[in-house]
Homo-oligomer: A and B are copies of this chain.
């Protein structure tokens, strides 16, 4: 878009927006605020923003000593640890770009990301060495591996085929603190994440300092976090900058908690951490909150999380899940929406005071399923196939387009991806949704996941949520499968609660759905399965489901 220069201002417009400002000022203002980290051996580390900042300065020096310089790309393969937080803010002291590596990617995708971004140095947790060793032969440009060793362990005692290796702690111990950080142009890349779409190669989003600074202020204002809050980093820090709350926490001075290594098999310790550290703010996907709730359901004594706000993203939070957390723990689930391409905050679901007065309890729960309103700072459009904006009636669906200072303008070095952007600068999200008269966005589907049956559209997501609201159901996926007569017909995969197996039938599910769906929309087949295929970021892998069951209605 062309800009018009008006009358000149006298402001310091040359002062660069930078992620480094956030941590420098946090160390100044919140020096004594606590940071808690569960280490790889299960022990707890407690230190302060001032301590962390000192280590960040020395980390910058240490990385410089091994040759990291302005413009380099440095890969990070790590858990949600205080070390990862130190890298988030210490790596910029070198002027290099932090490329966050998704430890759940397949080796060929991971090595693709490393080679595509031109990573020259990698920092890796000791527990993730098997992954690093698996891809090392495919990544010839990587010049060094810096290992975050288990607490108290020396580099010499780490057995690895990687070379050359450095010790993260030695870099900090020996590094001269960088006090005069490079004054990077705000358009320089601070970090990069790669999208992990279900089709094609991962695509690189390179976030500028300006982008992340502005996104951080948006997170701060839309979550109302403060120094009174304790934020726990549950979202993997390699997913879209960990969703930006750690940066916002540093900006406003929250107490910070890092859970370290955790998986779906260690939900007990995650649950304990939330309670023991009195966490008031966290964020995650239903992929973690759903099993966490199931775990809590099984406890005799429910954890007390009263007053906590849990931001839930990646997919629509089922009302049953939100009610479950509220009833069992007192925590409020707040839905937010975004993507790797959007840093990621686009919308957040907050109940406006005038709606609070008008809606009854059930309506308020229902409203909480919506993605919410697009935060101030971003432009949003919902357009039909002809590219025209649909009316804000909460009914007419269209593709969601987003524009603004923390939205990507392109994918890095990715010929052929230009069609994901419009001529007037919007990013095409690939999501289908509606906007209502209150400006709340509701996503109904992915453009490619909408089920096209007999010329009409059926929302797979709405149907999944309706199935999950059945008391016997843990999880569900609905896909469109090719049908000789109707083009496509819905197929539902359903995971039942243990106690519901054998009790709930296909017809029970259809009957449950018929409360909110027309008869022609009901799935012809409901399959009960033990688990549903997921992508590396925990989303339903509909590509795999569609392939596995492509012949259900035509075979």
Contacts and interface: CB of A to CB of B under 8 A. Distances in A.
Contacts of A7: 71-73, 96-97, 188-189, 206
A251 B8 contact: no
A251 B188 contact: no
A108 interface: no
Contact of A12 (B2, B227, B408): B408
A517 to B, nearest CB: 31
Interface in A33-72: 33, 70-72
A81 to B, nearest CB: 24
A12 B403 contact: yes
A354 B13 CA distance: 35
A505 interface: no
Interface stretch (A143-151, A158-166, A370-378, A465-473): A370-378
Given A4-B95, A376-B26, A11 B251 contact: no
B182 A408 contact: no
A302 B2 CA distance: 56
A53 to B, nearest CB: 13
Contacts of A221: 217, 220-221, 251-252
Interface string A4-46: 1111111111111100011001101111110000000000000
Contact of A11 (B208, B227, B374): B208
A227 to B, nearest CB: 6
Nearest to A222: B252
A243 to B, nearest CB: 17
Contact of A205 (B10, B206, B224): B10
Contacts of A13: 186-187, 208, 210-211, 405, 409
Interface string A380-417: 00000000000000000000000111111111100000
Contact of A28 (B95, B189, B374): B374
A6 B210 contact: no
Interface string A403-444: 111111111100000000000010000000000001100000
A344 interface: no
A3 B15 CA distance: 9
Interface string A336-379: 00000000000000101110000000000000000001111110
Interface in A171-214: 182-190, 204-211, 214
A25 B185 contact: no
Contact of A353 (B9, B186, B227, B350): B227
A536 interface: no
Nearest to A30: B352
User: Interface range on chain A: under 10, 10 to 19, 20 to 34, or 35 or more?
Assistant: 35 or more
B10 A206 contact: yes
Contact of A17 (B6, B25, B188, B405): B405
Nearest to A248: B221
A6 B405 contact: no
Contact of A32 (B184, B189, B208, B354): B354
Interface in A269-293: none
A220 to B, nearest CB: 4
Contacts of A16: 3
A183 B4 contact: yes
A118 B7 CA distance: 11
Nearest to A25: B376
A99 to B, nearest CB: 10
A442 to B, nearest CB: 15
Interface of A: 1-17, 21-22, 25-26, 28-33, 70-73, 95-97, 182-190, 204-211, 214, 217-218, 220-221, 224, 226-228, 251-253, 350, 352-354, 373-378, 403-412, 425, 438-439
Given A10-B204, A29-B439, 12 more contacts: A3-B16, A6-B185, A7-B97, A10-B408, A11-B206, A13-B187, A13-B405, A15-B407, A21-B376, A31-B438, A33-B352, A227-B353
